[in-house]
């Protein structure tokens, strides 16, 4: 859970950074009042992004320029993702969306369940935005239900959307005082294009304690530094004006002084981490100069102009590494999800799916990726739309190409291309064959933990996901088709349902043996784990390009300082 919170802290700043140049036209009061259907006693935070202007590509260019991390491939992918986000939100704005609001509930903070609400100019605009959201579902990774009601468009978890749309009378709503805290947090952001505010009600604070009494023991204390004395927290960001603002409103000047001292103590502890100095000197210097000021009951930090540029330079590398780490973990999670589906298919059929289904004459019809759909979350409905006795490009099946599931979609790509990088190795004694391979056969051979079943290939090797088309084993060209130009490796799913990140310098012969299960040779596969985060031994203190500072932040930063930051952990998505 601590790991989730660490990633969450990075994720909030990544998210804010990637959506940072939108001038606000609506007051905090208007936002809170218009979003009444979503406010209940579990609501804890709101991220508001004005869609009038969107220049995420410009920010990404600055991030890349200031960072000392990343490969040319990673730079290109990040720019591509930023461009796709920019086009998508610009399109939604053209259709009538005013702003995007991400709503967080206390009960869903460490899951991917969160509610997206677009406020639109009128009901007709809301209908257009709702219809268009389906085109961008692969890009945003939104939930499973989209619905418009009045000027609002809801997207997210089906139950949450239904509750928000129906707004049943039995729901216990926030009190006026509790909503006022969130509103005051947004008001403190003034006209910033990106505004984030969270506020825990007394009931929510008690819920945290009941959820994990040991972790949140400090919540119950009567000291001035208790989280009970924190009324609300807000973050405002405006890239065009080079302005970052942090506000933490407390119950009294004594509370502000006590909580401010705790913040300073924690920041100092992080700044003095030996590995931080060795690997991220710019961030260390930035933390050393971190001095929030106390104004009555408010803890404040403002970064403008030159201080803003210095701060951006200080955080550029760790932010970039957080994005890079997320790419690794998302690839691993996607591959593992598919491997679990393959195992479930095996449980149902006593073998893995064949590379392709065939007609009575042996002609390939549909890829194994279609056959495994019933065992992927939400895939059964799509599977039932296929005519299984027709080829992938028949008049009926071809339109289904654009409905590619998120598990197979290329990260950062817009919905509709229908291409995937998830491929199976094609050759003798691989986990896929024309008739289906049993796990027992693999176990009796080289072993399930030493045999690769699927891989995430380079984009230049992408295939149409429904087409019986995969990656033929070719020792001379295999690595170049798996590793992106400038990349450092690729994701692979093993027959024991595990997922690993394989280094680009793996020996071609070793890789070939890992792709087959019956060559009679037991091998050790190098680089079996994600190369992030790895750390030098403390006594060496050698610069490590993969160093991830989030893994070494003292636990009291999370256990005592701001348990309310639990809210932000939901942004990590896992």
* Token output for 154: 């809801």
Rg, C-alpha atoms of the chain: 25
d(CA 482, CA 462): 10
What's the domain range around 498? Answer: 350-514
237-241, 359-363, 463-467, 560-564 — most confident range: 463-467
- The answer on 242 and 176 residing in a single domain is yes
> Residue 139: which pLDDT band, with cuts at 50, 70 and 90?
low
- Give the single-character DSSP code of 479: H
Closest to 251 (Cα-Cα) out of 221, 215, 227, 277: 227
Percent of the chain clearing pLDDT 90 (strictly above): 20
Q: Are residues 458 and 415 in the same domain?
A: yes
Alpha carbon distance 457, 490 (integer Å): 7
Q: Are residues 368 and 224 in the same domain?
A: no
The reply to whether 441 and 478 lie within a common domain is yes
Residue 44 lies in a domain: yes
* 411 in the same domain as 287: no
260 and 383 in one domain? no
Segment 184-209 shows an average pLDDT of 82
231 shares a domain with 179 = yes
CA pair distance 448, 469, nearest whole angstrom: 24
Amino acid 64: pLDDT: 77
In a domain, 336, yes or no: no
- By the 8 A CB rule, do 256 and 225 touch? no
Q: Across the chain, which distance is largest between two alpha carbons, in Å? A: 82
Over range 63-83, report the average pLDDT: 71
Instruction: Label the pairing between strands 145-149 and 152-156.
Output: antiparallel
Residues 567 and 479 in one domain: no
Residue 541 lies inside a defined structural domain of this protein: no
Reply yes or no on whether the pLDDT at 345 is more than 90: yes
Average the pLDDT over 507-523 and give the result. 77
Pick from 49-58, 111-120, 163-172: least confident: 163-172
pLDDT digits (tens, 9 = 90+) for 151-195: 998 887 666 677 777 765 434 555 667 788 888 999 999 888 889
pLDDT at 566: 32
Task: Look at the chain and report how many structural domains it folds into.
Answer: 2
Please give the pLDDT value at position 281: 73
Q: Using one digit for the tens of pLDDT, what is the confidence trace for 280-298? A: 777 777 776 667 889 999 9
The answer to whether residues 98 and 245 belong to one domain is yes
DSSP state of 448: G
In a domain, residue 329? The reply is no
- Domain-located, residue 330: no
Q: Taking 70 as the threshold, does the pLDDT of residue 22 lie above it?
A: no
Q: Which residues contact 312 (CB under 8 A, 6 or more apart)?
A: 62, 63, 66
Give me the mean pLDDT over the 528-544 stretch.
Answer: 35
Q: Say which residue the tokens 């005013």 belong to.
A: 98
The two beta strands, 425-426 and 419-420, are unpaired
Q: What is the pLDDT of residue 137?
A: 55
* Both structure tokens of 100: 């995007």
Q: Residue 401's pLDDT is what?
A: 92
Given a cut of 60, whether residue 489 has pLDDT beyond it is yes
**Pick from 5-19, 259-273, 423-437: least confident:** 5-19
Any domain includes 195: yes
Q: What is the pLDDT of residue 267?
A: 77
Cβ(294)–Cβ(328) under 8 Å? no
Residue finishing a domain among 514, 534, 563? 514
301-325 residue pLDDT tens = 888 877 777 777 777 777 666 666 6
311 and 407 share a domain? no
According to the model, what pLDDT value does residue 389 have? 93
Q: What is the pLDDT of residue 112?
A: 52
How do beta strands 43-50 and 471-472 pair? Answer: unpaired
> Based on the domain organization, do 272 and 418 belong to the same domain?
no
The helices-and-strands tally (H runs, E runs) of the chain is 19, 20
Q: Is the pLDDT of residue 437 over 80?
A: yes
Q: Kindly state whether residues 313 and 409 are assigned to the same domain.
A: no
Residue at 53 is within a domain = yes
Q: How far apart are CA 494 and CA 499, in angstroms?
A: 6
pTM, rounded to two decimals: 0.65
Contacts of 36 by beta carbon, 8 Å cutoff, 6+ apart: none
Task: Evaluate whether residue 117 is within a structural domain.
Answer: yes
Q: What is the pLDDT of residues 451-475, one digit of tens each?
A: 899 999 888 889 999 999 998 887 5
* Higher pLDDT, residue 541 or 119: 119
What average pLDDT does the structure give for the chain?
Answer: 75
The confidence score (pLDDT) of residue 395 equals: 95
């Amino acid at each position: 859970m601590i790991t989730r919170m660490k990633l969450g802290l990075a994720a909030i700043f990544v998210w804010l950074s990637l959506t940072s140049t939108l001038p606000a036209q609506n007051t905090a009061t208007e936002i809170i009042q218009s979003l009444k259907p979503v406010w209940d006693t579990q609501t804890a935070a709101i991220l508001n992004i004005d869609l009038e202007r969107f220049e995420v590509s410009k920010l990404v260019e600055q991030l890349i320029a200031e960072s000392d991390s990343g490969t040319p491939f990673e730079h290109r992918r990040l720019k591509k993702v930023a461009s796709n986000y920019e086009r998508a939100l610009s399109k939604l704005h053209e259709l009538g969306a005013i702003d995007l609001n991400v709503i967080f509930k206390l009960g869903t903070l460490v899951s991917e369940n969160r509610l997206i609400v677009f406020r639109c100019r009128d009901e007709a605009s809301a209908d257009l935005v709702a219809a268009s959201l389906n085109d961008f579902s692969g890009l945003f990774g939104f939930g499973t239900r989209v619905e418009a009601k009045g000027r609002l468009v809801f997207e997210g978890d089906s139950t949450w959307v239904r509750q928000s749309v129906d707004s049943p009378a039995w729901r216990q709503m926030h009190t006026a005082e509790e909503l006022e805290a969130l509103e005051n947090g947004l008001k403190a952001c003034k006209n910033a294009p990106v505004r984030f505010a969270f506020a825990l009600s007394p009931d929510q604070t008690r819920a945290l304690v009941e959820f994990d009494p040991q972790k949140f023991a400090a919540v119950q204390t009567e000291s001035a530094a208790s989280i009970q004395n924190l009324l609300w927290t807000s973050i405002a960001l405006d890239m065009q004006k080079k302005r970052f603002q942090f506000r933490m409103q407390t119950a009294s000047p004594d509370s502000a002084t006590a909580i401010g001292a705790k913040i300073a103590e924690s920041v100092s502890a992080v700044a003095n981490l030996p590995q931080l100095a060795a690997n991220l000197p710019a961030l260390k210097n930035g933390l050393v100069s971190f001095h929030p000021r106390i104004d009555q009951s408010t803890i404040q930090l403002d970064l403008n102009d030159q201080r803003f540029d210095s701060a951006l330079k200080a955080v550029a590398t760790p932010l970039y590494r957080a994005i890079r780490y997320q790419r690794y973990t998302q690839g691993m999670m996607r591959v593992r999800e598919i491997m679990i589906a393959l195992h479930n298919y095996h449980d149902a059929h006593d073998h893995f799916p064949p590379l392709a289904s065939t007609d009575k004459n042996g002609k390939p019809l549909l890829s194994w990726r279609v056959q495994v759909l019933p065992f992927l979350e939400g895939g059964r409905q799509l599977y039932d739309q296929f005519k299984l006795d027709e080829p992938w490009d028949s008049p009926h099946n071809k339109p289904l190409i654009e409905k590619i599931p998120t598990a197979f979609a290329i990260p950062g790509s817009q919905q509709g291309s229908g291409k995937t990088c998830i491929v199976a190795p094609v050759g003798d004694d691989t986990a896929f064959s024309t008739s289906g391979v049993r796990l027992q056969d693999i176990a009796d051979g080289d072993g399930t933990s030493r045999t690769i079943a699927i891989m995430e290939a380079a984009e230049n090797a992408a295939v149409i996901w429904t087409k019986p088309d995969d990656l033929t084993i070719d020792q001379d060209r295999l690595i170049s088709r798996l590793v992106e130009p400038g990349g450092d490796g690729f994701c692979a799913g093993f027959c024991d349902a595990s997922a690993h990140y394989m280094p680009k310098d793996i020996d071609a012969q070793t890789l070939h043996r890992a792709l087959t299960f019956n060559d009679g040779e037991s091998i050790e596969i190098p680089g079996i784990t994600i190369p992030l985060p790895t750390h030098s031994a403390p006594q060496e203190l050698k610069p490590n390009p993969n160093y991830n500072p989030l893994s070494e932040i003292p636990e009291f930063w999370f256990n005592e300082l701001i348990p309310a930051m639990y809210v932000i952990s939901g942004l990590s998505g896992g």
